[in-house]
Amino acid sequence: MSQPETPTPLPSPAPLPPCRPPLPGRVPRTPRARRPLHAGLGLLAGLLAPLTWAGAFQTVDSIRAAAEAALAAPGVQAEAALDPALRMPPCAQALQAVPVSAVNVEVQCPGAWRLFVPVRVARQQPVLVLAEAVAPGQPLSAQALRIEHRDAARLAGVPLTDPAQALGQTLRRGGRPGQVLRQADLVATPLLRRGQPVSLVAGGPGFEVRMAGRALADAGPGEVVRVENLASRRVLAGVVAGPGLVRVGP
Protein backbone atom coordinates (compact mmCIF):
# COMPACT_ATOMS: atom_id res chain seq x y z
CA MET A 1 0.00 0.00 0.00
CA SER A 2 1.43 3.34 -1.13
CA GLN A 3 2.11 6.21 1.21
CA PRO A 4 0.11 9.44 0.74
CA GLU A 5 2.06 12.30 -0.83
CA THR A 6 3.06 15.17 1.38
CA PRO A 7 1.62 18.53 0.02
CA THR A 8 4.19 21.03 -1.16
CA PRO A 9 4.01 24.23 0.91
CA LEU A 10 3.12 27.48 -1.00
CA PRO A 11 5.69 30.27 -1.13
CA SER A 12 5.24 33.14 1.28
CA PRO A 13 3.87 36.40 -0.29
CA ALA A 14 6.41 39.12 -1.02
CA PRO A 15 6.53 41.81 1.63
CA LEU A 16 4.79 45.11 0.77
CA PRO A 17 7.08 48.08 0.08
CA PRO A 18 7.32 50.44 2.97
CA CYS A 19 5.16 53.59 2.80
CA ARG A 20 7.05 56.61 1.53
CA PRO A 21 7.17 59.32 4.11
CA PRO A 22 5.66 62.67 3.06
CA LEU A 23 8.01 65.29 1.79
CA PRO A 24 9.08 67.90 4.30
CA GLY A 25 6.64 70.82 4.46
CA ARG A 26 3.95 69.08 2.37
CA VAL A 27 0.60 68.29 3.87
CA PRO A 28 -0.92 65.03 2.68
CA ARG A 29 -4.12 65.50 0.60
CA THR A 30 -7.34 64.12 1.88
CA PRO A 31 -9.86 62.64 -0.55
CA ARG A 32 -12.20 65.34 -2.00
CA ALA A 33 -15.85 64.77 -1.49
CA ARG A 34 -18.05 64.77 -4.57
CA ARG A 35 -20.10 67.91 -5.13
CA PRO A 36 -23.82 67.51 -5.60
CA LEU A 37 -25.21 67.94 -9.15
CA HIS A 38 -27.10 71.17 -8.38
CA ALA A 39 -23.86 72.82 -7.28
CA GLY A 40 -22.27 72.11 -10.69
CA LEU A 41 -25.28 73.53 -12.53
CA GLY A 42 -25.08 76.68 -10.47
CA LEU A 43 -21.43 77.13 -11.38
CA LEU A 44 -22.22 76.65 -15.10
CA ALA A 45 -24.97 79.27 -14.96
CA GLY A 46 -22.57 81.74 -13.40
CA LEU A 47 -20.09 81.24 -16.24
CA LEU A 48 -22.72 81.72 -18.92
CA ALA A 49 -24.13 84.94 -17.44
CA PRO A 50 -21.38 87.21 -18.88
CA LEU A 51 -21.85 85.62 -22.31
CA THR A 52 -25.55 86.40 -22.24
CA TRP A 53 -24.82 90.07 -21.44
CA ALA A 54 -22.22 90.27 -24.23
CA GLY A 55 -24.90 89.49 -26.83
CA ALA A 56 -26.62 92.86 -26.22
CA PHE A 57 -25.21 95.69 -28.37
CA GLN A 58 -26.26 99.13 -29.53
CA THR A 59 -28.13 98.59 -32.80
CA VAL A 60 -26.35 99.71 -35.96
CA ASP A 61 -29.60 101.29 -37.20
CA SER A 62 -29.80 103.58 -34.17
CA ILE A 63 -26.20 104.78 -34.71
CA ARG A 64 -26.87 105.33 -38.43
CA ALA A 65 -30.06 107.30 -37.73
CA ALA A 66 -28.26 109.58 -35.25
CA ALA A 67 -25.43 110.29 -37.74
CA GLU A 68 -27.78 111.03 -40.64
CA ALA A 69 -30.00 113.29 -38.54
CA ALA A 70 -26.98 115.43 -37.64
CA LEU A 71 -26.58 116.49 -41.30
CA ALA A 72 -30.25 116.54 -42.28
CA ALA A 73 -31.49 119.70 -44.01
CA PRO A 74 -34.10 120.66 -46.63
CA GLY A 75 -33.00 119.36 -50.01
CA VAL A 76 -30.19 117.29 -48.47
CA GLN A 77 -30.08 113.50 -48.38
CA ALA A 78 -27.56 111.99 -45.94
CA GLU A 79 -26.41 108.35 -45.97
CA ALA A 80 -24.14 107.04 -43.20
CA ALA A 81 -21.57 104.35 -44.03
CA LEU A 82 -21.49 101.76 -41.22
CA ASP A 83 -20.31 98.16 -41.05
CA PRO A 84 -23.32 95.90 -40.26
CA ALA A 85 -21.03 93.87 -37.99
CA LEU A 86 -20.29 96.90 -35.77
CA ARG A 87 -20.53 96.02 -32.06
CA MET A 88 -20.83 98.86 -29.55
CA PRO A 89 -21.94 98.51 -25.92
CA PRO A 90 -25.58 99.40 -25.32
CA CYS A 91 -26.22 102.99 -24.30
CA ALA A 92 -28.64 103.70 -21.47
CA GLN A 93 -29.12 107.29 -22.72
CA ALA A 94 -30.10 108.86 -26.01
CA LEU A 95 -27.25 108.96 -28.52
CA GLN A 96 -25.73 112.36 -29.27
CA ALA A 97 -24.42 113.26 -32.74
CA VAL A 98 -22.35 116.31 -33.70
CA PRO A 99 -21.01 117.12 -37.21
CA VAL A 100 -17.21 117.46 -37.21
CA SER A 101 -16.96 118.18 -40.95
CA ALA A 102 -19.13 118.27 -44.06
CA VAL A 103 -18.90 114.48 -44.37
CA ASN A 104 -18.16 113.20 -40.83
CA VAL A 105 -20.28 112.99 -37.67
CA GLU A 106 -19.24 112.11 -34.13
CA VAL A 107 -21.81 109.81 -32.48
CA GLN A 108 -21.37 109.27 -28.77
CA CYS A 109 -22.96 107.60 -25.79
CA PRO A 110 -22.53 110.17 -23.01
CA GLY A 111 -19.92 109.03 -20.53
CA ALA A 112 -19.25 105.74 -22.32
CA TRP A 113 -18.03 105.71 -25.93
CA ARG A 114 -17.84 107.78 -29.10
CA LEU A 115 -17.61 106.87 -32.76
CA PHE A 116 -16.74 108.85 -35.92
CA VAL A 117 -19.12 107.99 -38.76
CA PRO A 118 -18.53 108.99 -42.43
CA VAL A 119 -21.70 110.34 -44.05
CA ARG A 120 -22.31 110.85 -47.78
CA VAL A 121 -24.33 114.00 -48.42
CA ALA A 122 -26.35 114.47 -51.61
CA ARG A 123 -27.95 117.83 -52.30
CA GLN A 124 -31.13 117.34 -54.29
CA GLN A 125 -32.06 119.79 -57.06
CA PRO A 126 -35.25 119.91 -59.15
CA VAL A 127 -34.47 119.33 -62.83
CA LEU A 128 -36.43 118.83 -66.04
CA VAL A 129 -36.30 115.27 -67.42
CA LEU A 130 -37.94 113.32 -70.23
CA ALA A 131 -40.95 111.26 -69.22
CA GLU A 132 -40.87 109.24 -72.44
CA ALA A 133 -38.63 108.56 -75.42
CA VAL A 134 -38.45 111.44 -77.93
CA ALA A 135 -37.14 111.18 -81.48
CA PRO A 136 -34.88 113.82 -83.06
CA GLY A 137 -36.93 116.63 -84.58
CA GLN A 138 -40.05 115.70 -82.56
CA PRO A 139 -41.50 118.76 -80.76
CA LEU A 140 -41.54 118.35 -76.97
CA SER A 141 -45.03 118.19 -75.45
CA ALA A 142 -46.12 118.62 -71.84
CA GLN A 143 -46.69 114.85 -71.57
CA ALA A 144 -43.04 114.20 -72.51
CA LEU A 145 -41.68 116.34 -69.63
CA ARG A 146 -41.62 116.08 -65.85
CA ILE A 147 -39.73 117.47 -62.85
CA GLU A 148 -37.51 115.19 -60.73
CA HIS A 149 -34.99 115.71 -57.93
CA ARG A 150 -31.40 114.66 -58.63
CA ASP A 151 -28.05 114.85 -56.82
CA ALA A 152 -26.60 118.22 -57.81
CA ALA A 153 -23.03 116.87 -57.58
CA ARG A 154 -23.74 114.38 -60.37
CA LEU A 155 -25.32 116.78 -62.85
CA ALA A 156 -23.33 117.74 -65.92
CA GLY A 157 -23.74 121.26 -67.22
CA VAL A 158 -26.67 123.51 -66.33
CA PRO A 159 -29.98 121.59 -66.37
CA LEU A 160 -33.35 123.09 -67.24
CA THR A 161 -35.77 123.50 -64.34
CA ASP A 162 -39.03 124.64 -65.98
CA PRO A 163 -41.09 122.81 -68.65
CA ALA A 164 -41.76 126.19 -70.32
CA GLN A 165 -38.07 126.26 -71.27
CA ALA A 166 -38.48 123.22 -73.52
CA LEU A 167 -42.12 123.09 -74.68
CA GLY A 168 -42.41 123.04 -78.46
CA GLN A 169 -38.67 122.68 -79.02
CA THR A 170 -36.91 119.65 -80.44
CA LEU A 171 -33.90 117.57 -79.39
CA ARG A 172 -30.71 117.52 -81.40
CA ARG A 173 -30.19 113.76 -80.97
CA GLY A 174 -33.40 112.47 -79.44
CA GLY A 175 -33.69 111.28 -75.84
CA ARG A 176 -34.67 108.46 -73.49
CA PRO A 177 -36.95 108.43 -70.42
CA GLY A 178 -35.27 109.91 -67.34
CA GLN A 179 -32.74 111.95 -69.32
CA VAL A 180 -31.94 115.33 -67.75
CA LEU A 181 -32.46 118.14 -70.26
CA ARG A 182 -30.01 121.00 -70.80
CA GLN A 183 -30.33 124.01 -73.05
CA ALA A 184 -27.58 122.60 -75.26
CA ASP A 185 -29.75 119.53 -75.95
CA LEU A 186 -32.53 121.62 -77.53
CA VAL A 187 -33.01 123.10 -80.95
CA ALA A 188 -35.30 126.10 -81.02
CA THR A 189 -38.37 125.69 -83.22
CA PRO A 190 -37.63 127.73 -86.35
CA LEU A 191 -39.74 130.86 -86.81
CA LEU A 192 -38.44 131.13 -90.35
CA ARG A 193 -38.08 128.49 -92.99
CA ARG A 194 -35.76 128.65 -95.96
CA GLY A 195 -37.47 130.37 -98.90
CA GLN A 196 -40.18 131.93 -96.69
CA PRO A 197 -41.17 135.56 -97.48
CA VAL A 198 -40.14 137.95 -94.70
CA SER A 199 -40.32 141.64 -93.87
CA LEU A 200 -36.93 143.31 -93.58
CA VAL A 201 -36.96 146.09 -90.98
CA ALA A 202 -34.30 148.79 -90.86
CA GLY A 203 -34.20 152.17 -89.23
CA GLY A 204 -33.07 154.26 -86.33
CA PRO A 205 -34.48 156.53 -83.65
CA GLY A 206 -37.79 157.93 -84.87
CA PHE A 207 -38.07 156.17 -88.23
CA GLU A 208 -38.44 152.67 -89.67
CA VAL A 209 -38.22 151.25 -93.18
CA ARG A 210 -39.72 147.92 -94.25
CA MET A 211 -38.77 146.00 -97.34
CA ALA A 212 -39.80 142.67 -98.83
CA GLY A 213 -37.30 139.87 -98.50
CA ARG A 214 -36.80 136.13 -98.50
CA ALA A 215 -35.19 133.88 -95.88
CA LEU A 216 -32.21 131.85 -97.11
CA ALA A 217 -32.11 129.43 -94.12
CA ASP A 218 -34.14 128.16 -91.17
CA ALA A 219 -33.76 130.25 -88.01
CA GLY A 220 -35.24 130.57 -84.53
CA PRO A 221 -35.96 133.57 -82.31
CA GLY A 222 -32.93 135.82 -81.83
CA GLU A 223 -30.79 133.88 -84.27
CA VAL A 224 -28.84 135.50 -87.13
CA VAL A 225 -30.11 134.53 -90.58
CA ARG A 226 -29.14 135.41 -94.13
CA VAL A 227 -31.94 137.07 -96.15
CA GLU A 228 -32.31 138.48 -99.65
CA ASN A 229 -33.71 141.94 -100.41
CA LEU A 230 -36.15 141.24 -103.23
CA ALA A 231 -35.90 144.80 -104.60
CA SER A 232 -32.11 145.07 -104.81
CA ARG A 233 -31.26 141.34 -104.83
CA ARG A 234 -28.69 142.04 -102.14
CA VAL A 235 -27.99 139.35 -99.51
CA LEU A 236 -27.99 140.70 -95.96
CA ALA A 237 -27.62 139.32 -92.45
CA GLY A 238 -30.31 140.05 -89.91
CA VAL A 239 -31.73 138.91 -86.57
CA VAL A 240 -35.06 137.10 -86.32
CA ALA A 241 -37.31 139.50 -84.38
CA GLY A 242 -40.57 137.56 -84.71
CA PRO A 243 -42.62 135.39 -87.05
CA GLY A 244 -41.76 136.53 -90.59
CA LEU A 245 -39.80 139.54 -89.31
CA VAL A 246 -36.03 140.15 -89.66
CA ARG A 247 -34.24 143.24 -88.40
CA VAL A 248 -31.29 144.29 -90.58
CA GLY A 249 -28.72 147.04 -90.34
CA PRO A 250 -27.14 148.54 -87.19
List, for residues 150-167, the tens digit of each pLDDT value.
888 788 888 999 999 898
| Distance in angstroms (rounded) separating the CA atoms of residues 223 and 221 | 6
pLDDT winner (highest mean) among 47-51, 59-63, 118-122, 186-190: 59-63
- Reduce the DSSP state of residue 160 to 3 states and report it: coil
Residue (of 196, 190, 203) closest to 227 by Cα position: 196
Residue (of 102, 98, 104, 126) closest to 117 by Cα position: 104
Average pLDDT over residues 71-92: 89
pLDDT over 70 at 29, yes or no: no
Per-residue confidence (pLDDT) for residue 45, from 0 to 100:
41
Which one is predicted more confidently, 85 or 52? 85
| Distance in angstroms (rounded) separating the CA atoms of residues 48 and 75 | 50
Which one is predicted more confidently, 58 or 26? 58
Contacts of 205 (CB under 8 A, 6+ apart): none
Contacts of 217 (CB under 8 A, 6+ apart): 192, 194, 225, 226
Per-residue confidence (pLDDT) for residue 53, from 0 to 100:
43
List, for residues 104-135, the tens digit of each pLDDT value.
999 999 999 999 999 988 888 899 999 999 99
Q: What share of the chain is helix, strand, coil (3-state, %, to 5)?
A: 15, 35, 50
List of domains in the chain? 60-122 (no CATH), 124-187 (3.90.1210.10), 197-248 (2.30.30.760)
List, for residues 41-50, the tens digit of each pLDDT value.
344 444 444 4
68 membership: H or E segment, kind and range? helix 60-70
Confidence of residue 32 (pLDDT cuts 50, 70, 90): low
